[in-house]
Amino acid sequence: RNNRRVLEYHSDIERLNAPFLAIYESLIPTEEEKAKQKRLLTSLEKLVNKEWPSARLFLYGSCANSFGVSNSDIDVCLEIEDSDISKSEILLKLADMLHSDNLQNVQALTRARVPIVKLMDPDTGISCDICINNVLAVVNTKLLRDYAQIDARLRQLAFIVKHWAKKRRVNETYQGTLSSYAYVLMCIHFLQTRKPAILPCLQEMHATYTVTVDDIECAYFDRVEDLRDFGSRNIESIAQLVWAFFDYWAYRHDYANAVISVRTGSIISKRAKDWTRRIGNDRHLICIEDPFEVSHDLGRVVDKHSIKTLREEFERAAHIMQFDPDPCVKLFEPY
């Protein structure tokens, strides 16, 4: 009897692969959209070079880490040599130039945690945030992109999780829920810890790429083309993985003691990181270690109200995956 139940469950979950893959495919940005983003970047760089000839612009965030869905905003980093003028002054100057160049909704947010200039390009409708010398974000963008090339299931899972998080409104850091970056790290960690593993731990392998940013050494194995078969011993399908991901965060994660760590490819303890109590605004109610800035908990935005919201949403998703006859509809129902 038990065997039959397992079989029934199996074929039942497998019938969800096609609809999940269809959702994934529908979220992939088109080549046309990518080309538009590149053109905008080039024209912004030309403009910036009028004032700062040696400055360069880099794409980072989801438009460069391969986890961007269509119609996302783009994140741009201005790399400019340290000069006498402060970041705020650069941002204000930049905002002025953009404004004169007919870009819309130009706004300098000089007091934000990561100070930026926001703008909208009226020709393409693309919105864009520009930050300054945020090299660490450019490096973590590369790490995510490299992981995505190892096994196609990572990108599929992360698109579905991000889509779910946006629809259910648990992807809003200013409301105390998690960033897209945090969700992608959760997906990477989850696939690192499947048995057999679907993803390796690149930072535990010998380093083929090393940069030092603000005293932080970022080093990992980046010849990912050599790892294309890594996950092939694990044949779990996308439907099974979506089910298991929500099941993990609903019922299996040890919120009281565990920190998920992509850097080590394992769970580490809150005690080892001294993340056991609230310090200032950092409550550590769900702990996600940044792969490079290891003192940075990406769950620190989560407070006692939003942890409840988050966990209820994980449980809702797990329940739907387990029992709903049509989970692909119910899962993404707008909150």
Of 157, 233, 140, 225, nearest in space to 191 by CA: 157
Site string for ligand ATP, 31-60 (x = CB under 6 A): -----------------------------x
- Contact region for ligand ATP (CB under 6 A) — 44-52, 65-73, 116-124, 187-195? 65-73
Q: Which of 13, 36, 44, 75 binds ligand ATP (CB under 6 A)?
A: 75
Count of residues touching ligand ATP (by CB under 6 A):
17
* One of 37, 66, 133, 141 touching ligand ATP (CB under 6 A): 141
61 is a contact residue toward Mg ion (CB under 5 A): yes
Is there binding between residue 298 and ligand ATP (CB under 6 A)? yes
Please report the sign of the dihedral spanned by the C-alpha atoms of residue 154, residue 159, residue 165, residue 168.
negative
Q: What does residue 195 show for φ and ψ, rounded to 5 degrees? A: -120, 115
Closest-approach residue to Mg ion (CB): 61
Q: In this complex, which beta carbon is closest to Mg ion, that of residue 175 or of residue 257?
A: 175
CA-CA distance, 75 to 239, in Å (whole number)?
A: 31
3-state secondary structure of 303: coil
- CA torsion sign for 174, 255, 196, 291 is positive
Q: At its nearest, how many Å lie between Mg ion and the CB of residue 70?
A: 13
Asked if 102 and 122 count as a contact pair (C-beta separation under 8 A), the reply is: yes
Residue 293 Cβ, how far from Mg ion at the closest point, in Å?
18
Nearer to Mg ion by C-beta: 17 or 173?
173
CB atoms within 10 A of CB 214: 9
Residue type, 83: S
Q: Look at strands 287-289 and 258-261 and give their pairing.
A: parallel
Indicate whether 181 belongs to the interface with ligand ATP (CB under 6 A): yes
Shorter beta-carbon distance to ligand ATP: residue 39 or 145 = 145
User: Which option in Mg ion, ligand ATP, none does residue 137 bind, with CB closer than 5 to 8 A by kind?
Assistant: ligand ATP
Provide the minimum distance between the beta carbon of 213 and ligand ATP in the complex, in angstroms, as a whole number. Answer: 12
Q: Compute the least distance from the CB of residue 171 to Mg ion, in Å.
A: 11
Select from 36, 37, 65, 75 the one that contacts Mg ion (CB under 5 A). 75
Window 13-52: contact mask with Mg ion (x via CB under 5 A): ----------------------------------------
Strand segments, DSSP code E, in the chain are 56-60, 74-79, 104-109, 116-120, 127-132, 209-213, 216-220, 258-261, 266-269, 287-289
62 binds Mg ion (CB under 5 A): yes
140 lines the binding site for ligand ATP (CB under 6 A): yes
Q: Cα 324 from chain centroid?
A: 28
Question: CA 108 to CA 102: how far, in whole Å?
Answer: 15
DSSP 201: -
CA distances from 301 to 36, 94, 273 (A): 33, 29, 17
The answer to whether the CB of 183 falls within 8 A of the CB of 160 is no
Please tell me whether residue 61 binds ligand ATP under the rule CB under 6 A: yes
What is the Cα–Cα distance from 258 to 83, expressed in whole angstroms?
A: 43
Could you please report the per-residue DSSP string of 74-93? EEEEEE----SS-HHHHHHH
Residues 99-138 that bind ligand ATP (CB under 6 A): 137
Q: Does 175 bind ligand ATP (CB under 6 A)?
A: no
CB of 71 to ligand ATP, least distance (A): 10
Among positions 296-335, residues that touch Mg ion (CB under 5 A) are none
Q: Residue 322: beta bridge partners?
A: none
Positions that interact with Mg ion (CB under 5 A)? 61-62, 75
* Residues of this chain that bind ligand ATP (CB under 6 A): 60-62, 65, 68, 72-73, 75, 137, 140-141, 179-181, 290, 296, 298
